[in-house]
Amino acid sequence: MKQLKLPDFTMAYDDQGRGLPVLCVHGYPLNRSLWQPQLENLDDVARLIAPDLRGHGDSKISSKYTLPAGGYSMDLFADDCAALLKALKIREPVVFCGLSMGGYVAFSFFRRYPELVRALILVATRAGADTDAIKEARREAIANVLGTGTEAIVESMLPNMLSVHTRSNQPETVQRVAGMMASTPTETIVGDLTGMMNRPNSTPLLNKINVPTLLIFGGDDKIINLWDMNNLRDDIPGAVTRFISFAGHLPNLEQVEVFNQQVRSFLTQLNQEAEA
Ligand code: MLT
C-alpha cells in the first residue's frame, strides 16, 4: 500500500505495473481491494493505480472532518483522483476504469478533466440520476445504518451484489465482499449515499464521450437494469459492450478470468494504437 497526503485526508492506493496508466475506482461501499485480481493479473499490460476513495479502506477520515452537506459528491471523488494523478506526475491521459459508483465518478472526471482521459472502462454502472424510488431507498438505508450500524447494509446489499451462482459456488468471494462492506465506516456510507443521491444525470454527457469505451455488465446484475445498460451502449459513440454470464454486480471478482481477458484485449488494442 502507498499513501498520499491530501488536504482533508491521507489517500491509500496501490500502484502496480508499467505502461499505460489505468485508474481503477471502486464502488459503494467497497474499497480498492476490489481490484486485487486485476492488479495481480494485468500488470504486464498496464500500470494499474487503485485508490481507496476518501473514507474507504485505508483512506481514513479524521474524526475532526465534517462531512459536506451534500455528502461525498462524485465531483469531490473525481478531484481526489485528479490530485493523485498529479502527485504521481502522470501527465499522459489515463484509462479511467470505474465500477458502479466508480462509474459515476468516471462521468464526473470526464466532465471536469476530459484532457486526462485516454479511454473509459465502465463496469456495472449507469448514467441516469437516482429515481425517486432509489432516493427513498437510500434515505431508508441511511436511517438503518445510523440506527443499527454497517451490518444492516451488509445484510440488505449482499444478495443484490453477487449472482446466485457466485453465492452458491464461491464462498471466498462472498466473504471478501462482506468483509469490504463491513469495514466501511458508518459516516462513509452516509457520505456515499448522500453524494449518489445528489449526483446529476450524466445521460446528456454520453454522446460527447469521444474516447474508446468498454462497457462490462454482469448478466445477473440486480442493481443495474437492462434499460440502464442499453442507455450507455446506445448513447456512447462506438462503445464496445460485453456481458459476463454468471456474474452479478461485481463481474471483476465473480468471473475474474473472463473479465480480465476482456480488459486485457481492450488495453492491448490501446497499446497497439499508441505504438502505430
Ligand atoms: C455501487 O455498487 O457502487 C452502488 O450499488 C451504486 C448505487 O447504489 O447506485
Q: How confident is the model at residue 22 (pLDDT cuts 50, 70, 90)?
A: very high
145-188, pLDDT tens digit by residue? 999 999 888 988 999 999 999 999 999 999 999 999 999 999 99
How far, in Å, CA of 217 to CA of 226, rounded? 10
- Pair 111, 148: CB distance under 8 Å: no
pLDDT beyond 90 at 193: yes
Q: To test the ligand 1 pocket, which listed residue (31, 100, 177, 197) has its Cβ within 8 A of the most ligand atoms? A: 100
208-231, pLDDT tens digit by residue? 999 999 999 999 999 999 999 999
The residue among 30, 44, 46 whose CA lies nearest residue 124 is 30
> Quick one: average pLDDT of 34-51?
98
- Pair 267, 22: CB distance under 8 Å: yes
Q: How far is the CA of 101 from the centre of ligand 1 (A)?
A: 5
Residues 6+ apart with CB under 8 A from 28: 100, 101, 189, 192, 193, 196
How far, in Å, CA of 220 to CA of 250, rounded? 10
Q: Can you tell me which residue has the cell 424510488?
A: 133
Does any ligand 1 atom lie closer than 6 A to the CB of residue 72?
Answer: no
- Report the nearest atom of ligand 1 relative to the CA of 157: 5
How far, in Å, CA of 59 to CA of 5, rounded? 10
> Quick one: average pLDDT of 195-219?
98
What is the value of pTM for the model shown? 0.97
**In the chain, at which residue ranges do the beta strands (DSSP E only) sit?**
2-5, 10-16, 21-25, 47-51, 94-99, 117-123, 213-218, 240-244
Q: To test the ligand 1 pocket, which listed residue (25, 28, 224) has its Cβ within 8 A of the most ligand atoms? A: 28
